A = this chain, B = another copy of it.
Amino acid sequence: MTGTGGMSAKERAYRDTKARILDGSLPGGDLITEGQVADALAMSRTPVREAFLRLEAEGLLRLFPKRGALVVAVSPSEVEAVLEARELVEGHALTKLCGSPEADRAVVADALHEVLDIQRAALAAEDEPAFAEADRRFHITLVESARNMILLELYASLRDRQLRMNLGSLDRGPHRPHEILAQHEAIVDALGRGVADEAVLRLREHLDATRGAVVGRTAGAGGASALGR
C-alpha cells in the first residue's frame, strides 16, 4: 500500500530526510542543503524545499536564509521540554480516563493490556523493533483515549523527538526493557483500578527513568543546574 512508487516527491523527500535525522544518519549540527537532498533523491529542489519547511515546523530542522538547513542538535533543555510535555499530555489522558465511565476506561485498559501482551512477547523473543513498536503503540493508545486531535498531533511530534534523543544513549542495558515493561504494567494496573493519582505517579516514574536513560544521569530532585532564565 505505502509503496514508494505511489508517493509524491514531496512525501518522499519528507520521509527520507526525516528518517535520516531520526536514525542519526544526519547528526545534529550538520548543515544540509536543498540541492544535496534533491540530487540524492533525483528530484528538483521544489519538493525538497517543502519537506524542509515541514521539518522546520516540527523542530527537527532550522532554516537559515541563504545559508542552508541546520539539523538541530538535541539540547538538554529540549530533552526536558519534551519529557515535560509528554508527562503533561499522557498524564492528562490518564486523569481524564479515570474520570470517565468505567465502561470506557475498561475498553482502553483492555487495549493497553493487549499491547502489553505483544510487548511481553517481543521482549521474550528479543525482537527489538517489535518491542519499540509496542512501546509506541502503548503510549499512542493512551493519548488517543483522550480524543483530542490537537493533543494527539502534538504527541506524535513529541514521540519523534524522543526517538532521536534515545539515539545518543544506547547504553540502556539489557535490563532497561524489563523495567519499561514493568512500568507500563504499573500504569495500566493503576488505571484499571481507576486511581488517577497513582497512575500519574507511575507515569512520572516511567518518564523519569526515560530521562535518566537519555541524559545518563538519573535526575534526582534538585536539578538546579544552569537554570539561568
Contacts and interface: CB of A to CB of B under 8 A. Distances in A.
A57 interface: yes
Contact of A81 (B54, B80, B81, B148): B148
Interface stretch (A83-91, A118-126, A182-190): A83-91
Taken together, the copies of this chain in the complex come to 2
Interface stretch (A92-100, A133-141, A172-180): A92-100
Interface in A51-90: 53-54, 57, 59, 77-78, 80-82, 84-85, 88-89
Interface stretch (A20-28, A32-40, A149-157, A204-212): A149-157
A50 interface: yes
A24 to B, nearest CB: 21
A81 B149 contact: yes
Contacts of A158: 150
Interface of A: 49-50, 53-54, 57, 59, 77-78, 80-82, 84-85, 88-89, 92, 95-96, 99-100, 146-151, 154, 158, 228-229
Contacts of A57: 54, 57
A51 to B, nearest CB: 10
Contact of A53 (B53, B100, B146): B53
22 contacts: A49-B50, A50-B53, A53-B53, A59-B150, A77-B149, A78-B149, A81-B148, A81-B149, A82-B150, A84-B151, A85-B150, A85-B154, A88-B89, A88-B151, A95-B229, A96-B228, A99-B228, A100-B228, A100-B229, A150-B154, A150-B158, A154-B154
Contacts of A96: 228-229
Nearest to A152: B81
Given A53-B53, A77-B149, A95-B229, 4 more contacts: A78-B149, A81-B149, A85-B148, A88-B151
Contacts of A59: 150
A221 to B, nearest CB: 12
